[in-house]
Amino acid sequence: EPLHKALTIERIYGFDIDPQAIELSEKLNQKYVHDSWKYKGVVADMSMLSTNNMEFTTGGELIRVKPNCVINTSCEHMNEDWYNNIPTGTVVCLQTNDYFDNTQHVNCCRDLADAVAKYPMTEIYYSGEIDTQLYNRFMIIGEK
């Protein structure tokens, strides 16, 4: 069953600094974009947004929102500013890796323990890793 049917989700905002990535994400999620913006892509630098009281413009509209869950599947592409801006008590799901040889990766972790230390949580619901043959991918889900 798709996630959007298993959980009550009011809206998902997908952030990326790359406008082409946002264009693609909206194309892939077009039925949700057209359904009262159940999904809306936003061109923005997440390290510059406070998730405590987010304020950004998309589609010509000023949005003010306080998310109850933050998901980042590319932590290796940015420093920890985005994480530091998340208020305590927020559910966070993050992924990073040990693929230091990729020149776009500016913030890799040596192993899962390194990731857990870099992104401290008050409670961890899940942590694990997967070997992709090229690198190890680490996931942590918990409450900051």
Q: What average pLDDT does range 29-36 have in this prediction?
A: 91
Res 1 pLDDT > 70: no
pTM exceeds 0.85: yes
Q: Is 94 exposed, middle or buried (0-12, 13-18, 19+ CB in 10 A)?
A: buried
Res 28 pLDDT > 70: yes
Contacts of 125 (CB under 8 A, 6+ apart): 141, 142, 143
pLDDT-derived band at 51, boundaries 50, 70, 90: confident
